[in-house]
C-alpha cells in the first residue's frame, strides 16, 4: 500500500518535472527565436553627472518585443534565460549591439558617453565574456572606455576568488565596473573593496524612501561617504523625485539615474538627449548650486 502511495507521488512529481522541462524547452525555443528574429532591442537610461548636470553615461537595458506576448520585461525572462543557459548568447548579443551602436555614433561624429551593460551570473562565470568583450571592441574599433559592466554583489560573492581574477582582467582591458543593486545583499563595502569596482550603485530600495524614512537616508548617506573614502564613485538608482535628487546632491552623490530625469529610452531618443546636453539640466534645475 505504501509502495503504491510512493509510486503515485513519484508519478505526480515526474509529471510535474516533465511539464517543467517541456516549459523550459519551449522557453528556450522562444528565446532562440527571439535572438534569430531580432526581437530584442536595447533601451538606454541616462546617468546624470551631478558635477556638470549633463548626461555622463547610461545603462543599457534589454527589451523583448514578442509578436504575440508584446513587451516582456527583463525581470521576467532574464532569470529564466539564466536557467536554460540562453542568457549567454543573449548577453553576447547585448555586448555586440551596444558596441555596434557606440561605434556608429562615433563614426557619425556624435558626442558619446560610456554605456554600461549588465552581466548575468552565468555569462560572467561560465562563458568567455572577456574574449567576447575584447573581440567586440576590436571589431567595432571602439575604445574600452566607452563600454562599462555592471555586476551584482551575489554574482561576485558566488566565487570571490574567480570573480576577483575576471574583474582584474576587465580592468586590464580598460573597462570600468559597477557594483549593481548595492545594499540588497549582505556584504559590507569594506569587504567589497577588495574587488576592483569603480562605481557603487545604491539600490532603488533605499532611494525610494529616502526623504520619508530616516533609516534609508542614513544608509544612503553612509554608503556615499564610505564609497568615497574607498575611492569609488556613487550612482543612485531609481531617483524619481526632486526631493530625492536634492538630498543625494547635498550628500555629494556623483551620478543619478531614474525616472525623474528619464526612463530608459530607444537609442535614437537617447542620442538626441546626449547631443542636446542642456535639456535634462534645465528640466531638473541642476543649474542651481546644491543647498547643504
Residues forming contacts to ligand C2E in the complex (CB under 6 A) are 45, 61-62, 73-75, 78, 91, 94, 117-118, 120, 150, 180-181, 204, 237-240, 257-259, 264
Query: How far apart are the C-alpha atoms of 79 and 152, rounded to whole Å?
Result: 14
Q: Which is nearer to ligand C2E, 53 or 183 (CB)?
A: 183
Q: Which is nearer to ligand C2E, 57 or 264 (CB)?
A: 264
Q: Which is nearer to ligand C2E, 12 or 259 (CB)?
A: 259
Query: How far apart are the C-alpha atoms of 96 and 38, rounded to whole Å?
Result: 13
Phi/psi at 210 (nearest 5 deg)?
A: -45, -45
Among positions 223-242, residues that touch Mg ion (CB under 5 A) are 237
Residue 91 binding target from Mg ion, ligand C2E, none, CB below 5 to 8 Å by type: ligand C2E
How many residues touch Mg ion under the rule CB under 5 A: the total is 5
Which of 174, 109, 116, 189 is CA-nearest to residue 150?
116
Figure out which of the listed residues 102, 118, 127, 271 binds Mg ion, where binding follows CB under 5 A.
118
Which residues are paired to 149 by β-bridges? Answer: 117, 177
Residue 120 binding target from Mg ion, ligand C2E, none, CB below 5 to 8 Å by type: ligand C2E
Figure out which of the listed residues 92, 180, 216, 254 binds Mg ion, where binding follows CB under 5 A.
180
Q: Within 10 A of 171 (CB to CB), how many other CB atoms are there?
A: 14
Closest CB 237 distance from ligand C2E, rounded Å: 6
Which of 177, 55, 42, 50 is CA-nearest to residue 102?
42
Residue with cell 503504491: 4
Residue 92 binding target from Mg ion, ligand C2E, none, CB below 5 to 8 Å by type: none
Which of 88, 178, 100 is CA-nearest to residue 131?
88
Figure out which of the listed residues 92, 148, 153, 181 binds Mg ion, where binding follows CB under 5 A.
181
Q: Which is nearer to Mg ion, 118 or 208 (CB)?
A: 118
Closest CB 63 distance from ligand C2E, rounded Å: 8
> Would you give the DSSP letter of residue 77?
H
Q: Which is nearer to ligand C2E, 216 or 237 (CB)?
A: 237
Tell me if 179 sits within 8 A of 116, measured CB to CB: no
Tell me if 95 sits within 8 A of 123, measured CB to CB: no
Residue-level length of the chain: 292
Alpha carbons within 13 A on the beta-carbon side of 26: 6
The yes or no reply on residue 216 touching Mg ion (CB under 5 A) is no
Q: Which is nearer to Mg ion, 67 or 147 (CB)?
A: 147
Tell me if 78 sits within 8 A of 120, measured CB to CB: yes
Residue 127 binding target from ligand C2E, Mg ion, none, CB below 5 to 8 Å by type: none
Enumerate binding residues for Mg ion (CB under 5 A): 118, 150, 180-181, 237
Amino acid at each position: 500500500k505504501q509502495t503504491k502511495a510512493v509510486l503515485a507521488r513519484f508519478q505526480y512529481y515526474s509529471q510535474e518535472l516533465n511539464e517543467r522541462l517541456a516549459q523550459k524547452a519551449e522557453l528556450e525555443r522562444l528565446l532562440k527565436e527571439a535572438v534569430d528574429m531580432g526581437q530584442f532591442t536595447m533601451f538606454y537610461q541616462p546617468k546624470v553627472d551631478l558635477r556638470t548636470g549633463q548626461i555622463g553615461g547610461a545603462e543599457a537595458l534589454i527589451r523583448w518585443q514578442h509578436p504575440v506576448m508584446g513587451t516582456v520585461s527583463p525581470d521576467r525572462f532574464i532569470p529564466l534565460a539564466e536557467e536554460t543557459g540562453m542568457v549567454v548568447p543573449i548577453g553576447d548579443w547585448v555586448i555586440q549591439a551596444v558596441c555596434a551602436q557606440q561605434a556608429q555614433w562615433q563614426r557619425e561624429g556624435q558626442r558619446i558617453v560610456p554605456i554600461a551593460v549588465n552581466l548575468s551570473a552565468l555569462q560572467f562565470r561560465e562563458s568567455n565574456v572577456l574574449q567576447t568583450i575584447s573581440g567586440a571592441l576590436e571589431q567595432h574599433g571602439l575604445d574600452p572606455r566607452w563600454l562599462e559592466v555592471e555586476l551584482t554583489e551575489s554574482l561576485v560573492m558566488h566565487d570571490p576568488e574567480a570573480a576577483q581574477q575576471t574583474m582584474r582582467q576587465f580592468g586590464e582591458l580598460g573597462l570600468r565596473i559597477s557594483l549593481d543593486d548595492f545594499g540588497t545583499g549582505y556584504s559590507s563595502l569594506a569587504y567589497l573593496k577588495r574587488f576592483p569596482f569603480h562605481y557603487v550603485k545604491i539600490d532603488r530600495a533605499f532611494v525610494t524612501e529616502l526623504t520619508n524614512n530616516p533609516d534609508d537616508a542614513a544608509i544612503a548617506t553612509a554608503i556615499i561617504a564610505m564609497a568615497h573614502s574607498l575611492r569609488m564613485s556613487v550612482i543612485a538608482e531609481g531617483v524619481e523625485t526632486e526631493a530625492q535628487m536634492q538630498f543625494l546632491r547635498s550628500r555629494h552623490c556623483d551620478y543619478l539615474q531614474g525616472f525623474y530625469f528619464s526612463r530608459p529610452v530607444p537609442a535614437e531618443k537617447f542620442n538626441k538627449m546626449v547631443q542636446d546636453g542642456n535639456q535634462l539640466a534645465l528640466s531638473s534645475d541642476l543649474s542651481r548650486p546644491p543647498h547643504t
